[in-house]
Amino acid sequence: MSENEFDLMDELYFVQPFQYLKETLGWEDELILSTLQSLHKNGYIKCLKSPDDEIFESVNLTQDGRNFYYLATKNGLMAHNTL
């Protein structure tokens, strides 16, 4: 897990919208989206349409990621806590 992935995972212990991540981390959209894409590809996060509505189909986070909410998965939390 990269340093950026680790820092982003710190914010995903609870469901968070993209805008919260942007405000909290202070990163450019592209960096957040590429880091989210990497975490999602590894199964470390899940994407949600709303705080209670998980997305189960494939997603293009670089295109649509600003519209979603995010939450760490069990595997993501385990990976995050072993570093």
pLDDT in tens, 3-22: 999 999 999 999 999 999 99
pTM to 2 decimals? Answer: 0.93
Give 45-80 pLDDT, tens digit per residue.
999 999 999 999 888 998 999 999 999 999 999 999
Domain map (residue ranges) of the chain: 3-81
Architecture of domain 3-81: Orthogonal Bundle (1.10)
Q: List beta partners, residue 69.
A: 17, 48
Check: CB of residue 18 under 8 Å from CB of residue 68: yes
> Could you tell me which residues are beta bridge partners of residue 72?
45
How far apart (Å, rounded) are the C-alpha atoms in residues 9 and 73? 10
